[in-house]
Amino acid sequence: MILTLTETERQVALAISVAVALCGLALAAAGNQDTMEIHGWLILAFGGICALVVIREIWGPEPPKSRLESYYDEPIKFGIAASMAWAVVAMFVGVWVAALLAFPDLTFDGAWASFGRLRPVHTSGVIFGFGGNALIATSLHVVQRTSRARLPDQLSAWFVLVGYNLFCILAASGYLLGVTQSKEYAEAEWYADIWLVIVWVTYFILYIRTLARRKEPHIYVANWYFMAFILVVAILHSINNLAVPVSLGHAKSYTIWSGVQDAMVQWWYGHNAVAFFLTAGFLGMLYYYLPIRAQRPIFSYRLSILSFWGITFFYMWAGSHHLHYTALPHWVQTLGMTFSVMLLVPSWASAGNALLTLNGAWHRVRDDATLRFMMVAAVFYGISTFEGSFLAIRPVNSLSHYTDWTVGHVHAGALGWVALITFGSLYTLVPSLWKREGMYSPALVEWHFWLSLAGTLVYIFAMWNSGIIQGLMWRTYTEEGTLAYSFLDSLRAMYPYYIARAFGGLLFLIGAVIGAYNMWMTVRAAPAKAPLESDVPLNAAVAAAGRG
Amino acid sequence: MDISHDALVAFSKSWGLFYLIGLMIGVLIYTFRPSNRGKFNRAKQSVLDQDDKPWT
Ligand code: HEM
C-alpha cells in the first residue's frame, strides 16, 4: 500500500506520522495523571505505527506512471475493512448494552463496563466507525467513477481514512475511561474534536479537488448528497463542539453554549447528524449502487434533484422537535414540527424513486440478496421517515418522548435503512474492487440478509411495544388523580421486551459477522475475474516502468 | 443595537418564508428547464457504463 504512494508522498506521510506522534507525546506530558495522558500515549503509539509502516517501504520503487490510467482504490479497500471491523465490534457492544438492561449484573463490577460508558461506544462505533468509514470509502469510489477522474493524489485519501479512524479510536477508548462531553453523538472531547476538524477539512478539499478534475461535465446526483454530507457535518461538528477546556492538560471541557441555547445547538446538531450523516450520505450510496446493481437507471433523475433540495433545506430546521415541551420557545418547537412533517415529501420521493427504479427488475430482487438488501433499505427508509414525521407532532411526542418508541424509530432507521443500504453497497463494491467474479459465497449473503431482516423486525417490534406500553403507563391516572403506576412498575413491564430486543440485536450481529467473514474470504479466496493483464512479475514491471 | 425577540420572529416569519419560496422556484426552474433534459438523461444512463477507467 505504501508502494502506491510517490516518493514525496511517502516523505510527507512520514512527517505527518511523526508530527502526530509528537502531539501525542505532548498531550501525554501535559496531561500527566489526567485521563488525557493515556490518550497521549495512544496517539503516540498510533503515529509511531504509521511511521513504521511508511519507513518499511520508503525507499521502494516509484509507482508506475500507468497508475494514472486507473482509479485509486487502495484507501477505499482499507475503508471497507475498517467499516466491517467497527460493525462487528460496535454491534457486539450494542448487544451487550441491550443485555445490560435486562441483566444489570453484566457490568462485572467494572466502571468501564457500566451502561453509561458502553452505550456511547456502541452509538459512536456504529455511526462513526461503521457508517462513517463506509461513507468515506463509497464516496471516494463514487466520485471517481462518476467524474471519470482519478483522485488528485495518493496521500490525501489515506490521511482522511487513517486519521478518521484515529478519531474513532480516541472517541471509543475515551468513553471507556469516562471521558465525555455529555453531548449525545458528540461525546468525544476537545482534542479529538480538533483532530476531526483537520481530517474532515482534508476530506472536503479532496472531494472538491476530485470533482474539479472531472471529465464528465455534469456532476451526478449521488455526489451532491455526498457533498452535502461532508459540508454540513463539518459545520455541525465545528459549531456544536465549541468548548473551552479546563486547561490544556485536561481532557474535560465546557461548552460555550448555555441553557436552552445549548439544548437547541445540540439538537440542531443531533438532528442534522441524522439528516446529513445517516441520511444524505447513504442516499448518495443508494443513488449510485442501486442503479448499478439493478442494471437500470434511476427512475426519475429530476425527482432525485427535487428531493435533494427538499431534504437539505427542510432538515436544517427540524431539530427542535427533539425539544418539545421544554424551555425552548413554543414557536421554535412549532417550526421544527412543521418542517418535520413537510420532510415526509422529499423523503418519500427518494424512497419511491428507489422502489420505482426496481419496478421491472423484481425477478432480480428475488434472486439477488444484494439487491434485496437495497430494496428493503428503501422500504425502511420510507417507514422510518414516516414514523419520524409522526413522532415530531407535539401531542404524539408527548406519548413517545423518553420511551423506547424513540429507540424503535432510531433502529428502524439505523438497522433497516443505514445498515442494510451499506451492506447492499459493500456487497456490490467488494467483488468489483478486488476484481472478483462475485462474492465468495452467495449463500452466506442470503443468510446475512435474512438474519438482518429478522433481527431488525424483532428489534423494532419489541421497542414499539415496550415504548407504547411505557408511555401509556406513565400517563395513566387513578380516580383519585394520582399516577396508577410507579416508574418501577413500568420498568418491570419492559423486561420481556428488553430480552427480545437483545435477541433481535444478536441476530443482526451474527449477520454482520457472517458478512465480514464472507468479504474476507472474497478477498482471500474467490476466483479472480479476468486473467491478469500482463504476465511479468510485479517487481519487474514496476522497475521497467520506473526506467521508462 | 437591541434585537428584540418579536423582531427576530417577524424577520424569520417573513424573510425566512420568502427565501424558501425563492429557493423552491429556483430549484423547480433548474429541474424542469427543457434544455437540461438531455444532460439529466445522459447522467442517469452514464453510471451504468461498464468501463472502469478514468477518461484522459
Ligand atoms: C423525516 C425524517 C425523520 C424525522 C422527521 C424524524 C424525527 C424524529 C423524532 C421526532 C425523534 C424523537 C425525538 C424525541 O422525542 O426525543 C427522532 C429520534 C431519532 N431519530 Fe429520527 N426522524 C426522521 C428520520 C430518521 C432516520 C432516517 C434516522 C436514521 C437512523 C433517524 C434517527 C434518529 C435517531 C438516532 C433518534 C434518537 C435521538 C435521540 O437520541 O434522542 N431518524 N427522530
Each residue's pLDDT tens digit, A100-159? 999 999 999 999 999 999 999 999 999 999 999 999 999 999 999 999 999 999 999 999
| Most B-contacting residue of A72, A76, A261, A305 (CB-CB within 10 A), to test interface | A305
Cα A200 to Cα A164: distance, rounded to the nearest angstrom: 8
As a whole number, the mean pLDDT across chain A is: 94
Q: Is residue A353 within 8 Å of A303, Cβ to Cβ?
A: yes
Residues A15 and A150 in one domain: no
The pLDDT score that the predictor gives to residue A269 is: 97
Residues A110 and A8 in one domain: no
Residues A16 and A150 in one domain: no
In degrees rounded to 5, what are phi and psi of residue A59? -100, 10
The pLDDT score that the predictor gives to residue A43 is: 98
Task: State whether residue A216 sits within 8 Å of chain B by CB.
Answer: yes
**Three-class SS state of A12:** helix
Closest residue (by CA) to atom 4 of ligand 1? A388
In degrees rounded to 5, what are phi and psi of residue A393? -75, 130
- Mean pLDDT over B38-54 rounds to 89
| Most A-contacting residue of B47, B52, B53 (CB-CB within 10 A), to test interface | B47
Residue contact A305–B27, C-beta within 8 A: yes
Nearest to A412, CA basis, from A459, A351, A446: A459
The 10s digit of each residue's pLDDT in A286-329 is 999 999 999 999 999 999 999 999 999 899 999 999 999 999 99
Residue A343 lies in a domain: yes
pLDDT classification of B1: cutoffs 50, 70, 90: low
Q: What is the DSSP letter of A528?
A: B
Task: State whether residue A242 sits within 8 Å of chain B by CB.
Answer: no
- What atom of ligand 1 comes closest to residue A340's alpha carbon? 5
The pLDDT score that the predictor gives to residue A475 is: 94
Task: State whether residue A402 sits within 8 Å of chain B by CB.
Answer: no
Q: Which of B39, B40, B48 sits opposite A295 (nearest CB)?
A: B48
Q: How far is the CA of A409 from the centre of ligand 1 (A)?
A: 7
Cα B7 to Cα B5: distance, rounded to the nearest angstrom: 5
Number of domains in chain A: 2
Would you say residue A389 has pLDDT above 50? Answer: yes
A-B interface: how many C-beta pairs under 8 angstroms?
Answer: 71
- Cβ neighbors of A448 (< 8 A, separation 6 or more) are A369, A423, A511, A512, A514, A515, A518
**Three-class SS state of A318:** coil
Residues A59 and A78 in one domain: no
pLDDT classification of A346: cutoffs 50, 70, 90: very high
The ranges assigned to domains in chain B are: 2-49
Would you say residue A468 has pLDDT above 80? Answer: yes
Residue contact A301–B40, C-beta within 8 A: yes
Q: Which residues of B touch A149 (CB under 8 A)?
A: 54-55
Residue A275 lies in a domain: yes
Task: State whether residue A218 sits within 8 Å of chain B by CB.
Answer: yes
The 10s digit of each residue's pLDDT in A486-507 is 999 999 999 999 999 999 999 9
The sign one gets for the Cα dihedral A79, A84, A86, A91 is positive
Q: Which residues of B touch A331 (CB under 8 A)?
A: 9
Task: State whether residue B18 sits within 8 Å of chain A by CB.
Answer: no
Residue A536 lies in a domain: no
Distance between first and last Cα of chain A: 22
Residues A428 and A518 in one domain: yes
The pLDDT score that the predictor gives to residue A547 is: 41
Q: Is A280 exposed, middle or buried (0-12, 13-18, 19+ CB in 10 A)?
A: buried
Express as a percent the part of chain B with pLDDT over 70.
98
The pLDDT score that the predictor gives to residue B55 is: 87
Residues A53 and A160 in one domain: no
Residues A25 and A74 in one domain: no
User: Pocket around ligand 1: residues whose beta carbon is below 6 Å from it?
Assistant: A 184, 274, 278-279, 318, 321-322, 340, 343-344, 347, 384-385, 388-389, 391-392, 397, 400-401, 406, 409-410, 413-414, 417-418
pLDDT classification of B50: cutoffs 50, 70, 90: confident
Task: State whether residue A291 sits within 8 Å of chain B by CB.
Answer: yes
Q: Is residue A163 within 8 Å of A206, Cβ to Cβ?
A: no
The pLDDT score that the predictor gives to residue B8 is: 83
Task: State whether residue B34 sits within 8 Å of chain A by CB.
Answer: no
pLDDT classification of A362: cutoffs 50, 70, 90: very high
Task: State whether residue A221 sits within 8 Å of chain B by CB.
Answer: yes
Nearest to A186, CA basis, from A240, A106, A115, A260: A240
Q: Is residue A540 within 8 Å of A498, Cβ to Cβ?
A: no
Rounded to two decimals, the ipTM of the complex is: 0.90
Cα A158 to Cα A79: distance, rounded to the nearest angstrom: 9
The 10s digit of each residue's pLDDT in A191-242 is 999 999 999 999 999 999 999 999 999 999 999 999 999 999 999 999 999 9
Residues A14 and A79 in one domain: no
Residue A542 lies in a domain: no
Residues A515 and A405 in one domain: yes
Q: How far is the CA of A388 from the centre of ligand 1 (A)?
A: 6
Range of the domain at A49: 1-69
Q: What is the distance, to the nearest Å, from the Cα of residue A418 to the centroid of all Cα atoms in its chain?
A: 8
Q: Which of B9, B32, B52 sits opposite A331 (nearest CB)?
A: B9
Residues A242 and A104 in one domain: yes
- Mean pLDDT over A72-85 rounds to 97
Express as a percent the part of chain A with pLDDT over 70.
97
The pLDDT score that the predictor gives to residue B9 is: 81
Residues A75 and A5 in one domain: no
The pLDDT score that the predictor gives to residue B53 is: 87
How many angstroms separate the CA of residue A88 from the nearest CA in chain B?
A: 31
Q: How far is the CA of A258 from the centre of ligand 1 (A)?
A: 24
Residue A535 lies in a domain: no
Cα A282 to Cα A231: distance, rounded to the nearest angstrom: 15
Residue contact A71–B52, C-beta within 8 A: yes
Residue contact B20–A313, C-beta within 8 A: yes
- Mean pLDDT over A44-58 rounds to 96
pLDDT classification of A14: cutoffs 50, 70, 90: very high
Express as a percent the part of chain A with pLDDT over 90.
93
Would you say residue A538 has pLDDT above 60? Answer: no
Would you say residue A537 has pLDDT above 50? Answer: no
Residues A39 and A109 in one domain: no
- Cβ neighbors of A67 (< 8 A, separation 6 or more) are A4
In degrees rounded to 5, what are phi and psi of residue A477? -110, 150
Which residues of A are documented as binding site for heme b? 122, 409, 411
